[in-house]
Amino acid sequence: PSQGYYTRRGGVGESGDFITSPEISQVFGELIGVWYISEWMAMGKPSTFQLVELGPGRGTLTEDILRVFKQLASVLSKCDVSVHLVEVSPKLSEIQAVMLTGGKVQPNPEDESAYMKGISKTGIPIFWYRDIQDVPSGYSFYLAHEFFDALPIHKFQQRTEKGWREVLVDINPEVPDQLRFVLSPSRTPATQNFIQPEETRDHVEVCPEAGVIVQRLASRIEKDGGAALVADYGHDGTKTDTFRGFRNHKLHDVLSAPGTADLTADVDFSYLRKMAQGKTATLGPVKQREFLKNMGIDLRLQVLLQNSGDTATREQLLHSYDMLMNPEKMGDCFNFFALLPHHRLVHPDKKDKPESKSPLPPVAGFNELLLK
Ligand code: SAH
């Protein structure tokens, strides 16, 4: 809490340690904003919803989504929208407050579970929390972009003759200011609790905190309705050794100068799917370039190119499109994954009367975009 990376540094953005898609292109957040509107419409336009973002970074993604909500104000006109940000970093919450409200925020409001509140430049109330459990219940659209990869993992190795062992972090007695990995001599509580019985990999990384958060999201969606969109680099239960550090946009040894570099591990979407425990349906993971293509990124790029007069802006638009979509860059390694109520994908009474209902609208992004 006091010496951790996000408390002390938290360097998202060009001048920081790593750059994220919303910081690269406004189109990214706009298409996510469209996804929420599309789901809101498909779910029968409920009269109120909360947009809940986990780990909002600099607030850029929320800003881009709120711009879409403003542009589609006539569609959303009768809907009561509020924004709820779950953020542990005091530094980043300040940056978010400036970005979203112009800095006009009230700390520790008496009547709320939030630690800060304000009003967006577009007139929408915004609240900040340290934990998802503090966010009031209610119909909610959740967003976690590059959030789960930031949570701590346990690492394990299978020693054939001895069973699972946990990889632990120790002080290196030979080199000052340097840590080292050691293998637990016997089983640990974590080896007993966090490895799936059907696991076939011989090295595995498990993020139990991500599991707990997904369970909470799934329970909340099952009870109050809504949907969750998770986007991150990750795999579907195949990778083994992905824990790494970034500092000033370069790979950094995770064992040196702790607290000064962003530590990250790929998100295991197969684990998230298991942790939803069937309370919601899940979709994906699909690759970022497929999701954004299905969301109409090519059309949006065309419009922006047509509207921009100068060559530098056009070049910037094409460059950022390439960063997001190129399979060698972010297009293939980033994935989109969603939690949705079961009734969003299958009519509740489909079993009894399969022919009597009109088909449910497809979920945008996860299905090919068909222009009629
Ligand atoms: N979503 C943003 C930022 C990603 S960086 C973007 O795409 O640009 C990760 C974010 O998660 C930061 O805002 C960080 O402060 C926050 N974070 C990290 N650990 C957290 C935790 N345990 N609870 C809440 N937020 C956390």
What does the pLDDT look like over 289-303, one tens digit per residue? 999 999 999 999 999
Report CA(298)–ligand 1 centroid distance (Å): 29
Residue 59 Cβ < 6 Å to ligand 1: no
Burial of 71 (0-12, 13-18, 19+ CB in 10 A): middle
Q: End-to-end CA distance of the chain, in Å?
A: 52
Which of the residue ranges 159-173, 190-204, 354-368 has the most confident prediction, judged by mean pLDDT? 190-204
Residue 25 Cβ < 6 Å to ligand 1: no
Residue 226 Cβ < 6 Å to ligand 1: no
- What percent of the chain clears pLDDT 70, i.e. is strictly above it? 97
Residue 9 Cβ < 6 Å to ligand 1: no
Give the pLDDT of residue 161.
74
- 86 Cα nearest atom in ligand 1: 24
Give the pLDDT of residue 306.
95
Nearest CA to ligand 1 atom 14: 55
b (16+ CB within 10 A) / e for 247-264: beeeebebbeebeebbbb
- 53 Cα nearest atom in ligand 1: 1
Mean pLDDT of 10-38: 90
Tell me which residue of 40, 25, 38, 21 sits closest to 149, measured CA to CA: 21
Report CA(203)–ligand 1 centroid distance (Å): 26
Determine which of 60-64, 171-175, 217-221 has the lowest per-residue pLDDT on average: 171-175
- What percent of the chain clears pLDDT 90, i.e. is strictly above it? 82
Tell me which residue of 227, 320, 345, 333 sits closest to 285, measured CA to CA: 333
Token pair of 303 as six digits? 């419009």
Report CA(65)–ligand 1 centroid distance (Å): 17
Predicted confidence (pLDDT) per residue in 117-168, tens digit: 999 999 999 999 999 999 999 999 999 999 999 999 999 998 767 799 999 9
Predicted confidence (pLDDT) per residue in 309-342, tens digit: 899 999 999 999 999 999 999 999 999 999 999 9
Which residue do the tokens 């707990």 mark?
212
Ligand 1 pocket mutation pick from 5, 6, 60 by most atoms within 8 angstroms of CB = 6
Report CA(344)–ligand 1 centroid distance (Å): 29
Residue 56 Cβ < 6 Å to ligand 1: yes
Which residue do the tokens 């509740």 mark?
348
18 Cβ contact list (under 8 Å, min separation 6)? 11, 12, 246, 249, 262
370 Cβ contact list (under 8 Å, min separation 6)? none
- pLDDT band of 10, cuts 50, 70, 90: low
Report CA(53)–ligand 1 centroid distance (Å): 9
Sheet with 203-206: list strands edge to edge.
179-183, 163-171, 154-159, 203-206
Q: How many CB atoms lie within 10 A of CB 325?
A: 21
**Residues 361, 283: Cα–Cα separation, whole Å:** 14
Asked if residue 15 has pLDDT above 90, the reply is no
Q: 3-class secondary structure for 85-114?
A: EECCCHHHHHHHHHHHHCCCEEECCCCCCC
Report CA(106)–ligand 1 centroid distance (Å): 21
121 Cβ contact list (under 8 Å, min separation 6)? 66, 100, 101, 102
Residue 28 Cβ < 6 Å to ligand 1: no
Give the pLDDT of residue 109.
92
Mean pLDDT of the chain: 93
Residue 182 Cβ < 6 Å to ligand 1: no
Give the pLDDT of residue 160.
64
Asked if residue 37 has pLDDT above 80, the reply is yes
Residue 291 Cβ < 6 Å to ligand 1: no
Q: 3-class secondary structure for 299-339?
A: HHHHHHHHHCCCHHHHHHHHHHHHHHHCHHHHHCCEEEEEE
Residue 87 Cβ < 6 Å to ligand 1: yes
229 three-class SS: strand
Residue 22 Cβ < 6 Å to ligand 1: yes
Report CA(150)–ligand 1 centroid distance (Å): 7
Report CA(197)–ligand 1 centroid distance (Å): 31
Q: What is the DSSP letter of 172?
A: -
132 membership: H or E segment, kind and range: none
Report CA(147)–ligand 1 centroid distance (Å): 5
- pLDDT band of 49, cuts 50, 70, 90: very high
Question: Domains plus CATH for the chain?
Answer: 5-152+207-344 (3.40.50.12710), 154-206 (no CATH)
**Residues 302, 281: Cα–Cα separation, whole Å:** 34
Give the pLDDT of residue 356.
59
Give the pLDDT of residue 106.
96
Mean pLDDT of 259-270: 94
357 membership: H or E segment, kind and range: none
Predicted confidence (pLDDT) per residue in 82-112, tens digit: 999 999 999 999 999 999 999 999 999 987 8
Give the pLDDT of residue 2.
77
Mean pLDDT of 344-367: 79
Report CA(262)–ligand 1 centroid distance (Å): 11
Residue 64 Cβ < 6 Å to ligand 1: no
Residue 32 Cβ < 6 Å to ligand 1: no
**Residues 207, 365: Cα–Cα separation, whole Å:** 26
pTM: 0.95
Evaluate whether 56 touches 85 at the Cβ level (below 8 Å). yes
